[in-house]
Amino acid sequence: MASQIVQISHPHGWVVLRRNRVAMLSLFVLSLLYLMSLVGPMMLPESLKSTGEVPFLPPSSGDHFLGTDVNGQDLFYRLLSGGRVSLGIGCAGAFLSLVIGTLYGMISGYAGGRVDALMMRAMEILQSIPRILFIMILIAALDGYVKDMLDVARLWAQNAQWSATERLFRDAIPYSRILVMILSLGIVEWIEMARMVRGQVLMLREMTFIAAARAMGQTPWGVLRKHLLPNLSTIIITYLTLAIPTVILDESILSFLGLGIDDPAASWGSLLRDGSQVINPIDSKWWLLVFPSLCMIISLLALNFLGDGLRDVFDPKSGE
Amino acid sequence: MLSFFLRRLLSSIVVMFCVVSLTFVLMRSIQGSPFEREKTPAHIVAVMETQYQLNGSLWQQYIAYLVRLAHLDFGPSARYRDWPVSEILAQKLPNSISIGGVAFVIVSTLGVFLGGIAAINKDFASDRVAMFGALLAISLPGFITGPALVAIFALWLDWLPVGGWGTMQQMILPAICLSAPYIAFIARLMRNSLLDVLKCDYMRTARAKGLSETAGIFRHAAKMALLPVVTYLGPLAAHLLTGSMIIENVFNVSGVGSVFVNSIQNRDVFLLGGAVIVLCALLVLFNLIVDFCYTVLDKRIRLHG
């Protein structure tokens, strides 16, 4: 009976979403942005990618469509590869937080009783530390270890005389910050997800199909995996879309403060920091601030609109 | 009432203890000593560590730190020699509190006001525009609005100073920039909660008695609608008063927000620990204030442990 009601209140999700013009436009813009930052850097000519002779060329000068930055690098290329890092960290970090949050929420909700109370208490404590601060400390703590790990892996490949693998690890060491950021953001951002999943599990586990599954001898893990997880998928997708902009925003805040992505890698946040460092009243290099800001604003707005649209479709109670 | 207060105090001490422990352990697991500089010889680093009780196993260091905290001593700063943490914080807190205080007043008044107006004009153009503006403001981080505001109001219109600290005029831009996303958030919260309250039975009764819509909103609905807003405002006050890392960075203010950033970069474990404790204490305090506000707003709520 209860599961029928759930089905009636959710017609086909995609049909409802398609009626929401803003959400569809956002989906289109986002796909375009992702595609451009994924494929774009490969399409550009090699000559644009290196550091150039002339710093601070204004936009539309010669080959440099959006001008050049302090090192004479093409801003358009930097924006695209920065988008790769920003959007990539957003997705990977949000996905990691999704895995942790879903597992935590499912276990806490399904176990109930004392386990649930203890797990909720732990969550409250984690929540009372400001998020950004916690991420910052984690990055500082993890940074050295990840670098060491990569170095150990490199030496191991060297001993085994796998030169390609060795080169891969050696090249990865300057970019290890990206991995550290994904880990730290994922470890911190899962709390909202866990709360949502737990709430849903608390509701679902009282339903008859769960009781039936248990009566037929399903183990707790089997119930979680086969019966609860499929019923949680809509809520998980919705909150994934809402977690991605949060992670992107946090990444850019950290990079802006100089604690996140660093040269040679770039993200939109680190590009903004570079831009804000050279701004002055006499000779403003406006393009170094305006274009990264635009990228960020567009992608954050689109993700938020899409997330809101999805939430309206899948979780009608949470809105108005 | 008293038992509620005591229980709250006890649980907040437990939370603070956990937060401080987590901070300390994570900070001490950062590679490298806080006293390491480019040319400091190893034996001097070792002496410094002994002096600051940062030698031995992590366990011993942790116990030493807890003992110190139990004596209500935040310890010395590892980076700024001869400066106790409490003095550094006492110097930085007023700056953060003044921006944060102004921002909090703006947020709580303007946010509630705008949200209320949006709810009354639900589905009209003004509501739509306001809610779109709110989403925009929530999505924009301070490091985009900050430079944009500086470019418009300081460089282009030349109304306000670009940066610096000390006068009222220099506080305007940081305070606006700090409050903008929270105004938007509060406005959204207030709108939705007022809309919920307006659907309640007792509002229908009020209308049936012939009470005008405005009088109904001000006399009956507003108080109830404020409950979720107040819940959010409590922790927000603590965060605003302890400064924003971004805003302090953009406008070059030396407040507690910059202490957080710098102490992590310098591995200054005692300074960060002190700042975190101040933040947690403020959080506890404001959450208590929120609970008392509940009893004022809704007479049905009683505080009991």
**Per-domain residue ranges of chain A:** 28-35+66-319
Q: Is the pLDDT of residue A1 over 50?
A: no
Cβ separation B141–A141 shorter than 8 A: no
pLDDT at A54: 67
More confident residue, A41 or A297: A297
Give the H/E segment covering residue B178: helix B168-198
Amino acid letter, B109 = T
Q: Is the pLDDT of residue A319 over 50?
A: no
pLDDT at A315: 63
Cβ–Cβ < 8 Å for A72, A54: yes
- 3-class SS of residue A278: coil
Average pLDDT over residues B184-205: 86
Rounded Cα–Cα distance for residues B239 and A256 (Å) = 20
Does the CB of B288 have a partner CB in chain A at under 8 Å? no
pLDDT at B35: 78
Give the lowest-confidence range in A38-52, A266-280, B26-40.
A38-52
Cβ separation A144–B32 shorter than 8 A: yes
- The CATH class that applies to domain A28-35+66-319 reads mainly alpha
* Chain A residue whose CA is closest to B134: A301
Residues of A at the B interface, defined by Cβ within 8 angstroms: 124-125, 128-130, 132-133, 136-138, 140-141, 143-145, 245, 249, 252-253, 256-257, 259, 269, 272-273, 276, 279, 281, 284, 286, 289, 293, 296-297, 300-301, 304-305, 308, 320
The structure tokens listed for B143 are 């490091």
A-B Cβ pairs (cutoff 8 Å, strict): 95
Contacts with B18 from chain A: Cβ below 8 Å: 125
The average confidence (pLDDT) of chain B is: 83
- Give A11-19 contacts, CB < 8 A, sequence gap 24+: A13/A234, A13/A310, A13/A313, A13/A314, A16/A312, A16/A313, A17/A309, A17/A310, A17/A313
Render the burial of B55-86: b for 16+ CB within 10 Å, e for the rest: beeeeebbebbeebbeeeebbbbbbbeeebbb
The fraction of chain A above a pLDDT of 70, given in percent, is 83
Rounded Cα–Cα distance for residues A248 and A246 (Å) = 5
The fraction of chain A above a pLDDT of 90, given in percent, is 4
Q: Which domains does chain B have, with CATH numbers?
A: 2-70 (no CATH), 91-297 (1.10.3720.10)
Q: Is the pLDDT of residue A96 over 90?
A: yes
Average pLDDT over residues A192-214: 85
More confident residue, B122 or B271: B271
Amino acid letter, B35 = F
Give the lowest-confidence range in B31-45, B61-75, B104-118, B141-155.
B31-45
Cβ–Cβ < 8 Å for A248, A299: yes
The structure tokens listed for B113 are 């006001």
Give the lowest-confidence range in A7-11, A143-147, A244-248.
A7-11
Rounded Cα–Cα distance for residues B185 and B233 (Å) = 10
pLDDT at B107: 92
pLDDT digits (tens, 9 = 90+) for A119-148: 888 888 887 777 888 888 888 888 888 888
Q: Is the reported ipTM for this assembly greater than 0.95?
A: no
pLDDT at A3: 47
- 3-class SS of residue A8: helix
Give the lowest-confidence range in A70-74, B15-19, B222-226.
A70-74
Strand partners, A74: A68
Instruction: Output the pTM of the full model.
Output: 0.83
Q: Is the pLDDT of residue A194 over 80?
A: yes
Cβ–Cβ < 8 Å for A303, A241: yes
Cβ separation A130–B272 shorter than 8 A: no
The pLDDT confidence band at residue B215, using thresholds 50, 70 and 90, is confident
Rounded Cα–Cα distance for residues B90 and B77 (Å) = 13
